[in-house]
Structure 1
Amino acid sequence: MHFDLLFFAVAVPAVLFAGVSKGGFAGGGAFASTPILALVIAPGHAVGLMLPLLMMMDVATLKPYWGKWDGTAAKLLLIGALPGIALGAAIYHLTNPNVFKLLIGAISIGFVAFQMARSTGLLRLEGHGVGPRAGLVSGFGTGFTSFVANAGSPPAAVYLLLKGVTKTEYQATNVIVFWIVNLIKFIPFLSLGIATHQTLLADLMLAPVALIGAWLGVKAHHAVPEKVFFALTYVLLVATGGKLIWDALI
């Protein structure tokens, strides 16, 4: 990893965008930062670089939602996430960077398809009712996609919306689940070389950008229409995801 002009030209906007998403738009666009970074650094290092910054943003959201989560849902998602994280670690250990590019690209475009299907009414999930097995399966998907691309929200969202939790329970459960999942991921990230001395050094340099982004997100919450922000997010994800898939296949 080289801390040159190109790196900062891509990393600063990517981290700033993630901070704005976390601070003002419930984190829905924060995932876009990983595929953007993967355009200029190794995909695994892009995931490892973003993890501590996302953890820092997570801590900022813990206090307002403490104790307001659905305890049963959180436990099922976390139990299911453990083997998902283990599978992600195994795949990283056994595959080359092109596989990670392909996975991150596919998850990027899949994330957009999932969100658009929800927003247009093609996919209606709220309040259908589900059992514990669905929570474990969703947790597995959450752990796996979170490990390979910091993108665990869609599997968790499917379960929580089917379960019919309230808006506050939904947000609080996401906060506590992803805070713990990110903490669990950090040790294998270090052992597999996903998080390195270089990515941690980059985190130190980019931490102020992340905090500024979160502050801007709070300010932008009422000033910027949510549809405009997420439209930009989806364009970025499709463009970067498509580029990563192309690079992996050629």
Structure 2
Amino acid sequence: MLELSTEGWLLAILASMAVGLAKGGLAMVAILAVPILSLVMSPVQAAGLMLPVYIVSDLGGLLAFRRDFDRRVLKTSLPGAAVGIGMGWATAHIVPDRGVTLIVGLIGLVFALNALIRPDLSARARQPSPLRGSFWGALAGYTSFVSHSGAPPYQVYVQPLRLPSVIFAGTTTWYFAVVNWIKLIPYAALGQLSPANLKVAAVLTPVALVSVWVGLRLVRIIPQALFYKLITWGLLAVSSRLVWQALSG
């Protein structure tokens, strides 16, 4: 089994809780998982360790949101996501992780600040668009492949649609479940699903599954207006963390 210190196990448990809460509907929390684990291991190893936890947690989320999702969003964004994952696989040994982290952070930061400064713009619902969905879906797929940080580009596309909070949470769960399944092939080809990582992931998975239930309970009782404020502030906080992480090295 992968050797982890006491601190490493505590951080791994926190990362698993973040994944589970996200699959229960608190989407932005999951982006903290890899940065948390990167405090005690390389980002590449952290991403490989967490992917099985994501995938098993997806099953709990899909069961919870089996009827609560928007097919139009998935149809307009998933094809682009598959392209983005392919680009990530093709350039895995070329593009530095820090550059991708900075881009993701800046996109989320600008979007969140714009939504907070000019809330009237985010209050007008858009309609799903194949063009916007393909672009942001590809960027979300690419950044999800690199560091499981596809939420900010995805949110830039989906949040202006102003979906009901449960539908937003369910659509997000379905989107990233499919993205994670697609990622299994390139991750295995790149050797990131090692037996040592899988053993640790098996220990962490029950923590994530319990957290799925907690997230599901929370997202169904939070008022919709408050829900969107929380995910916007969450996007701002996480994006700021990513920018700092990229610039500090």
Coarse TM-score class (shorter-chain normalised):
0.7 to 0.9
Q: Is the 8 A contact 1:127 1:164 kept in 2?
A: yes
Q: Paired residues, what number? A: 242
Equivalent position of 1:31 in the other structure: 31
3-state SS of 2:91 partner: helix
8 Å contact kept, 1:129–1:164: no
The verdict on how the C-alpha distance between 1:209 and 1:152 changes in structure 2, with shifts beyond 3 A counting, is same
**Cα distance between partner residues in 2 of 1:2 and 1:234:** 34
| SS of equivalent residue, structure 1 residue 92 | coil
Q: Residues 138 and 231 (structure 1 numbering): CA distance in 2 closer, same or farther, change over 3 Å?
A: closer
1:114 pairs with 2:111: yes
User: Quick one: distance in 1 between partners of 2:217 and 2:68?
Assistant: 24
User: Once superposed, what is the RMSD of the aligned Cα atoms?
Assistant: 3.2
Instruction: Summarize the Cα distance change of 1:210–1:190 in structure 2 as closer, same or farther, 3 Å threshold.
Output: same
Q: Does the 8 Å CA contact 1:117/1:123 hold for their aligned counterparts?
A: no
- Tell me: CA distance 1:146–1:123, structure 2 relative to 1, closer, same or farther (3 Å): farther
Q: Give 1:63's aligned residue.
A: 63
- Following superposition, the deviation at residue 209 of structure 1 comes to 2.4
CA distance in 2, matches of 1:199, 1:73: 33
1:8 aligns with 2:9: yes
Aligned CA distance change for structure 1 residues 128 and 240 (closer, same or farther; 3 Å) = closer
Judge conservation of contact 1:109–1:242 (CA < 8 Å) in 2: no
2:201 matches 1:200: no
What are structure 2's unaligned runs of at least 5 residues?
none
Q: Could you say which residue in structure 1 is the equivalent of 2:100?
A: 103
Amino acid at match of 1:11: A
Amino acid across the alignment from 2:146: V
Unaligned runs of at least 5 residues, structure 1: none
- Hey, what's the Cα distance between the residues in 1 that align with 2:236 and 2:194? 29
Distance 2:65 2:230 in 1: 26
CA contact (8 A) 2:84 2:141 kept: yes
Between the aligned residues of both structures, percent identity stands at 26
Contact 2:49 2:200 in 1 (8 A): yes
Equivalent residues of 1:139, 1:156 under 8 A apart: yes
